[in-house]
Structure 1
Amino acid sequence: MTDAARFPRSSPYWPVVSHPRLRRVLPGLAVSALGDGLGVVTVSWLADQLAPHGQRGTWIALAMAAYTLPSAAGTVIFGRLLRGRSGAQLAGWDAILRAGALAAIPLAHLTGVLTVWLYVVLLATSALLHSWGAAGRFTLIAELLPPQHHLPANALLTTIAAFATIVGPPLAGILIGWVSPVWVIAVDAATFAVLALTYRFALPVSGGARRAERTISRTAGFAVIRQNPSLLGLLVLSLGFFFLFGPVYVAMPIHVTDDLHGSATLFGVYYTAFGLGGLVGGVIAGHLRDWPMRVTTIGIVIGFGVAMLPLGLGAPVGLSLPAFALAGVIWAPYRSTSMALFQRSTSTAQLPAVLATNGAILVLAVPLGTILGGPLVSAFGARPTLLLCAVTIVALGLAAGGIAMLRRNARSPSSSTGTDVTARR
């Protein structure tokens, strides 16, 4: 029987979507991902409406930062309390906090006390457990599935998120045209309430889960990473990759308007192409499970930088637009493969703290890179900045590949077993 005849059971995604427990959670994850997609537009739009005249840019930036960055602080603040909890518990508590804090925004509006200050505080509160929630989702995969199914499961989560970022923003624009953005925030809160109920009833908490580990230090996740050269190298690679992509957010709109003499519509087309490429790449990622994960992850970094070169070299739209879409295809599997490396190289007990630490550090990378993008574009221009980002990303990947080869060659044959085999994968 051919693979086509055996589809969908021949798909690497079938063990994930058919799993008796995971399949109960996937609809809730899809609904909450759509809520995040709505938030991409709505959070900044409501900030724009609430901000005093003349301070709109500042408050929009603060609101967008508040919706993500406090998760880094939450990783440390709640580390001792949350370490040792199950993946479902961590993800469920994040969903509860998101739902409650976001629901407080329309409630404050109804009572007439909603100010831009309160709005930013509530957004920041909603994000405090976000790194733990993301860690919980990937820990849940490691808890329920064998290692050979981790990559397809990771890819399914990232594909759901990619689809939501394509559908959510235009849907938010339509809804804001009908009602106030504060009520779109209410819809966002409702999606996380659905997710919280999903975790509560679809995955009941098992008793006595790893309570002994909850007294370990708040920074235990970083200690595990620091003591494992493979994980530390992966964290440094991800930090550099995301940081070097940050300036693209500043350079792209200026490149489209000044260098390509395009409109806002063309700018939107570029990001739509990138998003569609990301959706395709997310689907492809699940089929990479038999590839060597570390080599694939490093190759993604190099390939992404190469795909960005046409933009930096001033290629015309007919070439640079497909190249940007290809960059989206290459970019998408990175989160899935890097998470698979963490899942394979870390015990299930340590995984939540390790992934929360990884997420808390990486959530800072793109904003810091974006901040750097301003001076770079001012000093060198948009196109040279894009070229600099592309070249340095390629160099980062090549350096990581070189270090990985040196480490592998330095190992004696007798040590190439156990955890080292896992690390090489």
Structure 2
Amino acid sequence: MSAAPDRPPLWRNRPFVLLACARVVSVLGNGFARVALAFAVLALPGAGPGRLSLVLACQAVPQLAFVLVGGVVADRMSRSRLMATSDVIGAAAYAGLAALVLTRHAPLTAMCLLAVAAGTATALFSPAMDGVVPLVVPPDRLQQANGLLRVGTNISLLLGLALSGVTVAWLGAGWALALDAGSFVVSAVLTARLGVADRPRRGTSGWADLREGWREFASRQWLWAVVAQYTVVVAALNANVGVLGPLAVRHHLGGARAWSLIVAAQALGAVAGAGLAARVRVRRPVLVAVLATLPSALPIALLGAGAPVWATATAMFAAGVSSDVFAVLWSTTIQREVPEEALSRVSSYDWFGSLAFAPLGLLVAGPAAAAWGTDRALFTCAALVVAATLAALLAPQVRTLRSPDASSPLPPRPAAPVEAADAP
């Protein structure tokens, strides 16, 4: 999609560039953490699937518990300031985890508390991030902006994943976690410079704001139907990525390096998917987004079947393409259809619903692998992804909601409240 002739390209929009750079740096560190945290826990004396499930669940539970609070706060204060604060909390949490792993003195209670802090940071960050994009780009370029952000972060994630296996193997998981902590610090500095102004003072209580956000969310069938789908899908995907996938790879495919290759293939596919989604025009974006979920079941099933690394990596590439087509179309549709002043609260309900079963999936994954076997648990996850996706298609608005016609101008939105010093 080309830029409008009377507008400068997005890469000349200073707030957008700062936001993109902050996300690229932060996601680079998260690429290390995705591989490092699982293998760091498994490498500790006496650790096993149950302990890994518990630590990852402690990270996931606060994401669910505090995300609605994050939505209310983000609609009341400067979203960029809240994002920077969240990055500082994340930096402290991962620095603490790195110290525990490097000293090999890692009490389970301490690891769980630091995982809680990391999850809380994510809960505060995510609704603010979803709401800040429409404040720094015009509404007719939201899909392009979302696609470019995803391309940048996916390339960064790919690089982080490509280096993570080597880092874990050569230097140890503790140093990989330390690099993630440093990336949060850089992201906080860049995000603080966005300069998105404080929100207008609201005369209502937080509870009233939460109820208003719920009304906006519940009034849109397409929105809650897909969130209900992802309640199941995210639980299944998290169980695979967090617990079952590493277990299957460690048992059959050689460990951290093979797993790094598999998840890197997904990240590479995501780069291609985001680039495609930044340009594609579809009449029914929610329908296309829901159908794009189906390929995510294939690599899970292949892991359960004990397929070779190349086959699973190929399927992960396809899943990465489809997952970012979903992500860009979904984010853009919400930003177009939901009033800006309620966007972070509606986004928080999206996150809350999508993450509702994520802690349960992580907690159950380890015991299920021990009781049924890792292969059977993986097949169950794949079946759940397919069933939930087909169920979402039963909602009429999922099948019929149309995007604005490309030839018609989008309705104007108030100018982004960016401080003068940070204007492009």
Q: Normalising by structure 2, report the TM-score.
A: 0.75
Answer yes or no: is the 8 Å Cα contact 1:44–1:63 preserved in 2.
no
Following superposition, the deviation at residue 305 of structure 1 comes to: 4.8
More displaced stretch, 36-45 vs 373-382: 373-382
1:32 is aligned to 2:26: yes
Answer yes or no: is the 8 Å Cα contact 2:40–2:173 preserved in 1.
yes
Which whole-Å CA distance do the structure 2 matches of 1:240 and 1:386 have between them? Answer: 14
Any residues of structure 2 matched to 1:284-303 within 5 Å, and which?
284-303=276-295
Specify the alignment match of 1:22 in structure 2.
16
Q: Name the aligned partner's letter for residue 329 of structure 1.
A: V
Specify the alignment match of 2:391 in structure 1.
399
Specify the alignment match of 2:230 in structure 1.
238
2:202 to 206, 212, 216: 212
2:85 to 84, 90, 93: 93
Which whole-Å CA distance do the structure 2 matches of 1:406 and 1:276 have between them? Answer: 28
Q: Name the aligned partner's letter for residue 151 of structure 1.
A: Q
Following superposition, the deviation at residue 124 of structure 1 comes to: 1.6
Which whole-Å CA distance do the structure 2 matches of 1:87 and 1:160 have between them? Answer: 21
Following superposition, the deviation at residue 284 of structure 1 comes to: 1.7
1:125 is aligned to 2:113: no
1:349 is aligned to 2:350: no
Which whole-Å CA distance do the structure 2 matches of 1:106 and 1:63 have between them? Answer: 14
Specify the alignment match of 2:421 in structure 1.
none
1:335 to 323, 327, 332: 327
Q: Name the aligned partner's letter for residue 65 of structure 1.
A: A
Output the aligned Cα RMSD. 4.2
Runs (5+) with no aligned partner, structure 1? 410-418, 420-425
Q: Name the aligned partner's letter for residue 359 of structure 1.
A: W
Answer yes or no: is the 8 Å Cα contact 1:306–1:394 preserved in 2.
no
Which whole-Å CA distance do the structure 2 matches of 1:229 and 1:374 have between them? Answer: 35
Runs (5+) with no aligned partner, structure 2? 402-409, 411-424
Which whole-Å CA distance do the structure 2 matches of 1:236 and 1:287 have between them? Answer: 28
Following superposition, the deviation at residue 242 of structure 1 comes to: 2.3
3-state DSSP class of the match of 2:394? helix
More displaced stretch, 184-193 vs 371-380: 371-380
Higher relative contact order (CA 8 A, sep 6+): 2
1:144 is aligned to 2:136: yes
Which whole-Å CA distance do the structure 2 matches of 1:318 and 1:230 have between them? Answer: 37
Specify the alignment match of 1:193 in structure 2.
185
Which whole-Å CA distance do the structure 1 matches of 2:103 and 2:380 have between them? Answer: 50
3-state DSSP class of the match of 1:243? helix
User: Kindly tell me: are residues 178 and 76 of structure 1, through their superposed partners in 2, closer, same or farther at Cα, counting changes over 3 Å?
Assistant: same
3-state DSSP class of the match of 1:402? coil
Percent of aligned pairs with the same residue? 21
Following superposition, the deviation at residue 176 of structure 1 comes to: 5.1
Which whole-Å CA distance do the structure 1 matches of 2:398 and 2:179 have between them? Answer: 51
Specify the alignment match of 1:274 in structure 2.
266
Q: Normalising by structure 1, report the TM-score.
A: 0.75
More displaced stretch, 361-370 vs 112-121: 112-121
User: Kindly tell me: are residues 102 and 78 of structure 1, through their superposed partners in 2, closer, same or farther at Cα, counting changes over 3 Å?
Assistant: same
Answer yes or no: is the 8 Å Cα contact 2:70–2:128 preserved in 1.
no
User: Kindly tell me: are residues 211 and 112 of structure 1, through their superposed partners in 2, closer, same or farther at Cα, counting changes over 3 Å?
Assistant: farther
Which whole-Å CA distance do the structure 2 matches of 1:234 and 1:121 have between them? Answer: 32
Specify the alignment match of 2:149 in structure 1.
157
> Is the radius of gyration larger for structure 1 or structure 2?
1
Following superposition, the deviation at residue 304 of structure 1 comes to: 4.5
3-state DSSP class of the match of 1:21? helix
Q: Name the aligned partner's letter for residue 204 of structure 1.
A: G
